[in-house]
């Protein structure tokens, strides 16, 4: 009955129904609002350097300032130890956070979803090989591996960090998608497609993939969070891209120059931003979980 209802609604109807459920979630609304604020910050990061070259987050320096100063009319969040504007750096950090988080999460989800569908549908030897590979990668601590690579090859650029994070974060997603595919491949519509002569690739990407994509999107929100935290940790430890201004890099500068307890106007903004952006994507994921799992909605209603 539920399957017939989904078919009658169609993709647009299911999307509209999911959006109406999402809007009722307080966590979802708060998370989406915070993400929108950070997105506006990322877009606004291009504005300060256009106003004055001294607001360039990396190279801009106030000619009248040579040390860290508290907030003022010309520098709303103050300046760092070189006289660079902290607000400009904070806005640039939002752009980097979105770039790293979304890029790494998207690549890991595409890889994990594809491998999970192939493993679940093909089964037997293919399933065993792919899942053992996933197990081996899953037990490797991502942050530790990146630290080892950084110590071996020197400081990594931002896109290398994104790629490494993506390559080490797909196994968990692949296992979830595999279990979903194992359930889907026994459904009548898959059997009908197989009888009609559809190829394995067509069945996987035309019939199975649309049914697992909502689950993939849910896990993408959580992967964005972990990617942002890993990049911030690497930058704080001194293994980030030295040519990129990120929130983790700002915290590293605060620590390295001895301003950790002297300049709260420099320390708090990047720390708060890292906490809020990871929290916002977590809230978005929890709201998406309620949309996909009716049991969670029932528990919320009874609670």
- In the chain, which ranges are continuous DSSP H helix? 2-23, 26-44, 48-51, 86-122, 124-138, 142-153, 158-168, 171-184, 188-195, 200-202, 209-236, 247-256, 264-292, 294-302
For residue 298, what pLDDT band results from cuts at 50, 70 and 90? low
pLDDT reported for residue 8: 42
- Name the DSSP class of 261: T
pLDDT reported for residue 301: 52
| 33-89: pLDDT as tens digits | 999 999 999 999 999 999 999 999 999 999 999 889 999 999 999 999 999 999 999
Give the mean pLDDT of 259-288.
93
Please state which CATH number belongs to domain 25-302.
1.10.3720.10
Q: What is the CB-side half-sphere exposure of residue 271 using CA atoms within 13 A?
A: 12
Structure tokens at 138: 């899953």
| 241-268: pLDDT as tens digits | 888 899 999 999 999 999 998 999 999 9
Q: Taking the domains of the chain in order of start, what are their residue ranges?
A: 25-302
Buried b (16+ CB within 10 A) or exposed e, 197-224: eeeeeebbeebbbebbeebbebbbbbbb
pLDDT reported for residue 157: 87
For residue 214, what pLDDT band results from cuts at 50, 70 and 90? confident
pLDDT reported for residue 113: 95
Distance CA 52, CA 56 (A): 8
> In the predicted model, what is the mean pLDDT of the chain?
87
User: Whole-model pTM?
Assistant: 0.86
Distance CA 163, CA 160 (A): 5
For residue 294, what pLDDT band results from cuts at 50, 70 and 90? low
Would you say residue 4 has pLDDT above 50?
A: no
Would you say residue 283 has pLDDT above 80?
A: yes
Distance CA 148, CA 40 (A): 35
| 14-40: pLDDT as tens digits | 667 777 777 888 888 999 999 999 999
For residue 1, what pLDDT band results from cuts at 50, 70 and 90? very low
CB-count exposure of residue 46 (10 Å: 0-12, 13-18, 19+): exposed
Backbone angles phi, psi at 240, to 5 degrees: -80, 180
Would you say residue 183 has pLDDT above 60?
A: yes
Q: Indicate the Cα dihedral angle 145, 148, 149, 155, nearest 10°.
A: 120
């Amino acid at each position: 009955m539920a399957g017939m209802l989904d078919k009658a609604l169609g993709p647009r109807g299911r999307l509209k129904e999911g959006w109406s459920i999402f809007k009722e979630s307080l966590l979802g609304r708060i998370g989406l609002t915070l993400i929108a604020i950070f997105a506006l910050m990322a877009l606004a990061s291009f504005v300060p350097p256009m106003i004055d070259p001294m607001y360039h987050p990396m190279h801009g320096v106030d000619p009248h300032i040579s040390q860290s100063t508290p907030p003022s009319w010309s520098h709303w969040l103050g300046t760092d130890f070189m006289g660079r504007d902290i607000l400009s750096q904070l806005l640039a950090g939002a752009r980097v956070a979105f770039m790293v988080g979304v890029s790494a999460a998207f690549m890991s989800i595409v890889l994990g979803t594809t491998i999970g569908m192939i493993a679940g549908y093909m089964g037997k030897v293919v399933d065993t090989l792919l899942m053992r590979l996933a197990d081996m990668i899953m037990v490797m601590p991502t942050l530790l591996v990146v630290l080892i690579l950084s110590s071996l090859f020197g400081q990594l650029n931002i896109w290398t960090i994104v790629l490494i994070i993506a390559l080490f974060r797909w196994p968990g997603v692949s296992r979830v998608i595999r279990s979903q595919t194992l359930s889907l491949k026994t459904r009548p519509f898959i059997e009908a497609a197989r009888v009609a002569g559809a190829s394995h690739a067509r069945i996987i990407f035309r019939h199975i993939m649309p049914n697992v994509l909502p689950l993939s999107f849910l896990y993408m929100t959580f992967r964005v969070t972990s990617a942002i935290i890993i990049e911030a940790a690497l930058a704080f430890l001194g293994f980030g891209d030295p040519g990129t201004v990120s929130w983790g890099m700002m915290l590293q500068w605060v620590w390295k120059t001895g301003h950790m307890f002297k300049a709260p106007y420099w320390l708090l903004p990047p720390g708060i931003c890292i906490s809020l952006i990871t929290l916002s994507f977590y809230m978005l994921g929890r709201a998406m979980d309620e949309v996909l799992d009716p049991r969670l909605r029932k528990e919320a209603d009874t609670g």
